[in-house]
Amino acid sequence: MESAARELRELLPRVARAVGEFPSFPGAMFAYGLEVDPEGELPGDYGCVVLGEDGGLYELVVSHDPQQEAAGDPVATRAEEMHPLGDMPAEHFVLYAHRAVLVASRHVEAAGVPGGPA
């Protein structure tokens, strides 16, 4: 399992490069990435898992700061953070990374990007 996780950690940055320009995450204002678990169940409680532009797996956390509401700027009230999921157990990482490769491949295919994930 550790060997598979290591290989996938090397593969994901190449997959991310094949995606090219990442789309903004649906409903997000500042975050870019592909949702890794759009369908089906995966182990662990990692929240909203996203393949980032660097090929890393992240939890996207969106929060609201009500103290900024007085400024009248809705952008100032919103925070979007990408928390790295590097401490995920190997058996979980392999499943999420595999799903990330599938999601990236589908995105590239749908976008008509030549070359696709390698």
Per DSSP, the residues of the chain read -HHHHHHHHHHHHHHHHHH-SPPBPTT-SS-B-EES-SSS--SS---EEEE-TTS-EEEEEEEE-GGGGGGT-TTTTEEEEEEE-TTS-HHHHHHHHHHHHHHHHHHHHHHT-TT---
Average pLDDT over residues 79-103: 93
Is the pLDDT confidence value at 64 over 80? no
- Better pLDDT: 114 or 101: 101
Determine what percent of the chain is predicted with pLDDT higher than 70.
83
Summarised one tens digit per residue, pLDDT across range 9-51 is 999 999 999 999 999 888 777 889 999 976 777 888 899 999 9
Instruction: Tell me the pTM.
Output: 0.82
